[in-house]
Structure 1
Amino acid sequence: MSKPVIVFAGAVYPGQFGLLCDYLRHSGLAESYFLTTPGHMKRNRQRGNHILGFRPDGPILSDDRYYYSAKVERSARIGRGLLNALRDLRKHTKIDVVVAHSLWGAPHFLYDEIDAAIVSYIEFPSFRAHGWDPAYPPDLAQRIADRNAEMLNFHQAVCSDLVICPSQHAKSMFPPALRSNIEVQMEGFDFTSMPAPVTGGREKMTIGFAARDLSSAKGFETYVRLVDKLASQGVDAQFIAFGGAEEVTYGYEQQAVTRAHNGQIKTFRDHLMLKHPRAAKVIEFPGKLPYAEFSKRITEVDLFLYPLKFGVANWGLMEILGRGGCVLAPDRGYAAEMIQDDVNGQLLPDNDDAWINAILALLDDPARRFRYGQKARNLARAQYDLSVTAPRYMTLFRQAMSNRAARIGNAQETANSPRNMP
């Protein structure tokens, strides 16, 4: 039996599913390709000839786009270019499955235009469903624009042969009527390349925060507030927050900061440093680091605070767990899917006193920190190493192929029904 041909599509490579695509090819599970934009193809050519290019139908970001439908227009330009590239690829090879990022590899122009099963990866359907802090709400225009992105994702949930979400929490954000075609599977990691934490040998305990951005959704505000309280109690520790301060991905706090300070304060981080001066004196901000340096620095953290407010999956959290980090996280949402309380970490309510008490207890309990970290490392690797997740993905891709075959068969039966005969 020949290997299935799986084509991943996304404007950024390696990005979403890049490692999975490579793993499927190198392990022999599938003949896999990755369609990305020409610049990313060129920069990653050394990774293999399976990295192919597609050219969007015009600039995906332009100054003359209509604000309320800008994301849909961007997806349309991506989708049109993707259709052209897949048609060209189809001349040389069969395609069994196309796995497309819902926005950056938008598949909505592919339905019934190519003879392959379409799998859409949707991180979450809309910011309305995702949530934001009421202290930093979106404007009317932002709320309306979000509806168009939601509409695009709902359409994909209806028309795709299968939808994949990264967590049960993400799946729950879709209307119940759409969930039957949605499966949950988080991406895999190459944990073998990740060193374990370094324990001992430091003068002070290190209490860290790590996320792509220092944002409200990731819980950075809570981290700063907790550090401020710990500092006020005389806790002698090192505090470090990894992540970029210049841009926010999943919230609207930046515009609130700009308005509150008449543009004089540039970032949410700087706003919080003014609000919590004790924390400002003790937190180190390395900024965005090259991955090798980031990888080394996070192994030196004794205790990670991960007070996530809003999110549907976080690769940073899973990487910390997979490295053997000791983590405190909220007892709700996505984090509660990854962490079992008092097994591979500790889950806490949204209450500062509960967090402070847990932090102080763990600072004085190195054996429990070690136990949490070792269990976190073992569970993460047993559940989310690429060697484990790749076969699961192949099962989902075969499910999508079966769904398509049934759909096409049903359509053919309907067309051949006596009621439809001339």
Structure 2
Amino acid sequence: MRVLFLHPNFPAQFRHVATILGRDPNNQVVFGTKNERPEWKIPGVKKALFTPSRDPRPETHHYVRPLESAVLHGQAVYRTMLALKSQGFVPDLVYGHSGWGPTLFVKDVFPESKLMCYFEWFYWAHGSDADFDPADPLSPDDEAKIRVKNAPILMDLYSCDWGLSPTKWQKSQFPHEFQRKMTAMHDGVDTEFFKPNPGAKLVLPNIDLSGADEIVTYVSRGMEPYRGFPEFIESIAYLQEKRPNCHVVIVASERVCYGKSLPNGQTYKEQMLAKVPLDMSRVHFVGTLPYGQYLKVLQASDAHIYLTRPFVLSWSMIESMSAGCVVVGSDTAPVREVIRDGDNGFLVDFFSPKQIADRVHDILEHPTRMAHIRENARKTVLENYAHSVLLPRHIELMKEVAQGNLPEPQPIASIPERSLVVSG
């Protein structure tokens, strides 16, 4: 099979499927990306670099700037695909991440190739992430901008032969008329790597918590409201009152990956630490970590807090469950798809730091009672999210789409009523 992957960042969500396909000498695998990093390689996978000719113009209407960026990315990929075609490479399947634009013009260069898109999120002003926090209301300008942000995704939904979305919740956000040609399938996690290590002690290059009685963990790409960072920090204050020997380890970078930054250049970490008095000798910000050290954090965790708006589900939550963590997760749709309260984890009110702290306190107070929670968390991942289960299905789906044997139309997931208010 000849496959062309497309993603601005190599290898992103396609690392594992590209690795499997690259091992087979009968396959030709090319990965189109603008990330040159020579140290990142996959055996059997050839990189084809693309570079947008420019950035979106500052004078472009701010609603349209993301679309202009997508078109510039698509244009750059168009040139790269023409070069590949001139070299005799015509893929059976093009598989790309929708939204940034690389997949926009695939059918113009390779009209006979099948196009499969990875659909991570469809934006709505109401009913999911954007209007979740009542303290952060949307303006009419925000609402209109959100609608236009879907333009490149809608183009891909129309032109692709099939789509994949990682969770049922995420698939449910897409318009009904397109869900019929989408499969809900998670990327999966490496359960042989992310596995429990009972009695593990946490020692990192710059931190030694081997003597800590209790360790609470939090993992996120950034420190931001979308992942409940403000509520998490407030919960630590309550927790420290109840648990004088509890240490908190925070694996995250001091940035905003989703949503709005603070207008004054201040980070949410700075804002929250100025607002909430904490015993900082028991709070450890370790930044982002290599996978081996990140795993040690999860294996040493006595309670793991994962909070998110109704948005894309983080891999880290599945990885923490695979490692046998007791997860305290927000009672929001993406988390409820995986966690059953009191069975394989616990659900709490996203907006209640006190409830979060109380639940963690209960877990730390009764560690032996948590054994079945840890076991069920691990079992949930082994049965539904393990690479050993999902990667063969993922590869088979790709082969079927490449051969034109498209799956049966998929069931439609219901979504809330949506509305849009536009200012004059």
Alignment of 1:310-321 (within 5 A): 310-321=310-321
Contact 2:129 2:310 in 1 (8 A): yes
Higher helix share: 1
Which letter does structure 1 place at the counterpart of 2:306? Y
- 1:108 is matched with 104
SS of alignment partner, residue 12 of structure 2: coil
Q: Check if 1:92 corresponds to 2:88.
A: yes
Deviation at 1:276, TM superposition (A): 1.5
Deviation at 1:213, TM superposition (A): 0.9
Post-superposition CA distance 1:207-234 (Å, at most 9, x none): 1111111111111122112211122335
- 2:414 is matched with none
Quote the Cα distance in structure 2 between the aligned partners of 1:292 and 1:61: 38
Post-superposition CA distance 1:5-57 (Å, at most 9, x none): 222111111212122211233267954332212624x342x433513213234
Contact 1:22 1:32 in 2 (8 A): no
1:244 is aligned, of 253, 259, 278, to: 253
Deviation at 1:334, TM superposition (A): 1.0
- 1:16 is matched with 13
Q: Under a length normalisation based on structure 2, what TM-score does the superposition of the two structures give? A: 0.82
Contact 1:321 1:327 in 2 (8 A): yes
- 2:299 is matched with 299
Q: Comparing 47-56 with 236-245, which one deviates more in the overlay?
A: 47-56
Q: Comparing 326-335 with 367-376, which one deviates more in the overlay?
A: 367-376
| Shift in CA distance, 366/81, structure 1 to aligned 2, threshold 3 Å | same
SS of alignment partner, residue 53 of structure 1: strand
Deviation at 1:235, TM superposition (A): 4.4
Quote the Cα distance in structure 2 between the aligned partners of 1:226 and 1:58: 47
1:58 is aligned, of 53, 62, 78, to: 53
> When the two structures are aligned, how many residues end up with a matched partner?
392
SS of alignment partner, residue 240 of structure 1: strand
- 1:126 is matched with 123
Q: Comparing 125-134 with 94-103, which one deviates more in the overlay?
A: 125-134
Deviation at 1:400, TM superposition (A): 3.1
| Shift in CA distance, 248/233, structure 1 to aligned 2, threshold 3 Å | same
Quote the Cα distance in structure 2 between the aligned partners of 1:293 and 1:61: 38
Post-superposition CA distance 1:352-385 (Å, at most 9, x none): 5543442222112222333322332233133323
| Shift in CA distance, 286/314, structure 1 to aligned 2, threshold 3 Å | same
- 2:217 is matched with 208
Post-superposition CA distance 1:128-153 (Å, at most 9, x none): 35425343456665544433321221
Query: Structure 1: 5+ residue runs without aligned partners?
Result: 407-422
Which letter does structure 2 place at the counterpart of 1:54? L
SS of alignment partner, residue 338 of structure 1: coil
Alignment of 1:373-384 (within 5 A): 373-384=374-385
SS of alignment partner, residue 284 of structure 2: strand
Contact 2:22 2:42 in 1 (8 A): no
Alignment of 1:12-411 (within 5 A): 12-26=9-23, 31-37=28-34, 39-40=36-37, 42-44=38-40, 46-60=41-55, 67-90=62-85, 91-104=87-100, 106-114=102-110, 115-126=112-123, 128=125, 129-131=128-130, 132-137=132-137, 142-194=142-194, 196-199=196-199, 202-245=211-254, 247-252=255-260, 254-255=261-262, 258=263, 263=264, 266-278=266-278, 282-350=282-350, 351-352=352-353, 354-401=355-402
Q: RMSD over aligned Cα, in angstroms?
A: 2.9
Post-superposition CA distance 1:224-261 (Å, at most 9, x none): 1221112233543111221112x212212x23xx3xxx
Which letter does structure 1 place at the counterpart of 2:393? R
Q: Which has the higher contact order (CA 8 A, sep 6+)?
A: 2
Quote the Cα distance in structure 2 between the aligned partners of 1:145 and 1:194: 39
Quote the Cα distance in structure 2 between the aligned partners of 1:27 and 1:127: 41
Contact 1:56 1:79 in 2 (8 A): no
| Shift in CA distance, 102/118, structure 1 to aligned 2, threshold 3 Å | same
Deviation at 1:110, TM superposition (A): 1.6
Identity %: 19
Which letter does structure 1 place at the counterpart of 2:360? I
Contact 1:35 1:52 in 2 (8 A): yes
Contact 1:218 1:310 in 2 (8 A): no
Contact 2:227 2:308 in 1 (8 A): yes
Deviation at 1:72, TM superposition (A): 1.5
Q: Under a length normalisation based on structure 1, what TM-score does the superposition of the two structures give? A: 0.82
| Shift in CA distance, 291/234, structure 1 to aligned 2, threshold 3 Å | closer
